[in-house]
Structure 1
Amino acid sequence: MPGTTRRSRVIHAFSHDVSGMLDRDVIGRRGRRRRVREDTMTQSTRPRSRGFSRARRTLVGVTETAILLSSVAYLFVGEFWTLVVWEAVTLVYLLGGLVATWPGHQVDESKSALREVERWSWLLPLVASVTGAYSAVVALVAQADGGGALLFAITASIGVVLSWTLLQVGFAHTYWAADGGGRRRGVRFPGKRQPVLIDYLYFSFTIGTAFATSDAQVESLGVRRVVMLHSILSFFYNALVVAVAFQVLQQVIRN
């Protein structure tokens, strides 16, 4: 009996050790699979390096400066070639921004960089709205003249659409900077991840077209002020776009 009891204890201890090893192995495998899934899910929102952020900031700054300079040239000179240059630079900026933000990468910006963006983010929407309004006037005057001015009218109408798009992108940067790059949660999006720039583009274009938010909640007084200004400006701007498009289309059909 004592020998049997001793063997039973040894067998029980051995079984306990084996089951513990199996449990640890299973837990380890589950943990590895969970980490792989998390890496896969968060790969698109993983923060980029500070070096990448500086390079991105420099490239964006150069392009936005080119947009501002070409806008000023178009507003003061009013020649056809200045309009074409402005539209070309704006189109490159919009397409490049779409390619950069579409994957949904998290940009790791410093607080000083965010303050700088917030300080100057109003400039792009302002220039876009002024340029778009001027293009609308040019389109209406050109289509009224008829003849060779029709090409100018169509090109100016394209400028109105680009200005509208630039207006929404500019406000998206304003929301993003005012929300601390997604850290302050002044705009609360569904889900638990930190918002990225594509979320604010979605938010901005929703307000620019529907004049209201959808599934995102505004929880900051500063962001509410921007939303109110954005909604009012977009309402009048959309009416301007529709009026210009209707007039130019009418002229094209007539010719």
Structure 2
Amino acid sequence: MNDRMSDAENRLARIERRLEDGGRDVVPAWRRATQGEPRWAVTAVILLAVVLQLMLPHRLAFQPYWVLPVLEFVLLAGLIAGNPRRVEPRTRWLRLVGLALMGLISLANGWAAVRLVLGLVNGTEGKEAGPLLLTGGGIWLTNVIVFALWYWEWDRGGPMARVRGRQQYADFLFVQMQSPETAPADWEPAFLDYLYLSFTNSTAFSPTDVMPLSRWAKMLMMLQSSVSLVTVVLVVARAVNILR
């Protein structure tokens, strides 16, 4: 009897401590209001995407080839100026600028990918294996970045909405959500987690350890796998044919 009473008292004490902490031990960090994630990771990756666009052959770029990269730099500068250190909800125009920036990066890379695929099919691209592999690799890597940005921007309403912790249901199920004991108590998905998701989906052509839950997430991952598969197959097949 004394042991049962002691156990009950211990449970009651734990509940009281949790209530005093505002329920932080009950509600995981990714479901409550938290501080915005640092901006450096997404900024560095966007800059890499812009540099990769400038390194592509100009004949594959949207003409004039420098227009979209310049616009992307301007929009990125606006985001940094409006929210320099952390991705936090401040004004609505910051999200609109971010969406416009991702749209431009997607347009530039999609244009280059289509031009490359059409050139390979028509026999006007891929005269040398080395430059072809570099071009295809640049487009593939930019594609990884593009989809990572879209996953990051749309999961549970985007990074600024996730900071508020208002949306209960996630669009992507990470391992730490299923097994919270494997991660720190303050863990929540950040941009590098979505970059990893995008990379594994582009290499495995299917989900690995991060599962899509919503329909739009499934369709977007399917689209990414399709684009990656077509790019890799055509570029590698053409390069092998040249080397032979």
Q: Distance in 2 between matches of 1:46 and 1:248?
A: 52
Q: Structure 2: give runs of 5+ residues left out of the alignment.
A: 1-33, 74-84, 181-186
Q: Distance in 2 between matches of 1:130 and 1:71?
A: 12
Structure 2 partner of 1:130: 111
Deviation at 1:143, TM superposition (A): 5.8
Q: Alignment partner for residue 219 of structure 1, among 208, 213, 221?
A: 213
Is residue 75 of structure 1 aligned with residue 60 of structure 2? yes
Q: Distance in 2 between matches of 1:228 and 1:143?
A: 27
The SS at the match of 1:195 is coil
Structure 2 partner of 1:188: 173
Q: Alignment partner for residue 208 of structure 1, among 202, 218, 243?
A: 202
Is residue 156 of structure 1 aligned with residue 132 of structure 2? yes
Greater RCO between the two (CA within 8 Å, min separation 6)? 2
Q: Where do residues 216-255 of structure 1 align in structure 2 (5 Å cutoff)?
A: 216-250=210-244
The SS at the match of 2:198 is helix
With over 3 angstroms needed to count, the CA separation of the structure-2 counterparts of 1:167 and 1:224, relative to structure 1, is same
| Contact residue 52 and residue 142 of structure 2 kept, 8 A | no
Deviation at 1:59, TM superposition (A): 7.4
| Contact residue 208 and residue 230 of structure 1 kept, 8 A | yes
The SS at the match of 1:208 is helix
Q: Distance in 1 between matches of 2:224 and 2:152?
A: 14
The SS at the match of 1:194 is coil
With over 3 angstroms needed to count, the CA separation of the structure-2 counterparts of 1:76 and 1:195, relative to structure 1, is closer
Q: Distance in 2 between matches of 1:205 and 1:77?
A: 25
Structure number with bigger Rg: 1
Q: Distance in 1 between matches of 2:218 and 2:126?
A: 39
Q: Distance in 1 between matches of 2:62 and 2:198?
A: 31
**Structure 2 residue identity aligned to 1:155:** P
Is residue 117 of structure 1 aligned with residue 117 of structure 2? no
More helix by share: 1
Give CA deviations for 1:40-94 in whole Å, capped at 9, x if unaligned. xxxxx98556xxx4x888777777666667769433699xxx8xx9xxx9xxx9x
| Contact residue 160 and residue 241 of structure 1 kept, 8 A | yes
| Contact residue 207 and residue 227 of structure 1 kept, 8 A | yes
Q: Distance in 2 between matches of 1:199 and 1:76?
A: 29
Structure 2 partner of 1:33: none
Q: Distance in 1 between matches of 2:53 and 2:101?
A: 12
With over 3 angstroms needed to count, the CA separation of the structure-2 counterparts of 1:75 and 1:220, relative to structure 1, is same
TM-score w.r.t. the length of structure 2 is: 0.53
Q: CA RMSD in A?
A: 4.2
The SS at the match of 1:215 is coil
**Structure 1 residue identity aligned to 2:229:** F
With over 3 angstroms needed to count, the CA separation of the structure-2 counterparts of 1:62 and 1:189, relative to structure 1, is closer
- Bigger drift between 110-119 and 189-198 goes to 110-119
With over 3 angstroms needed to count, the CA separation of the structure-2 counterparts of 1:143 and 1:64, relative to structure 1, is closer
Name the count of aligned residue pairs. 172
**Structure 2 residue identity aligned to 1:207:** N
Q: Distance in 1 between matches of 2:120 and 2:189?
A: 39
Q: Distance in 2 between matches of 1:141 and 1:123?
A: 26
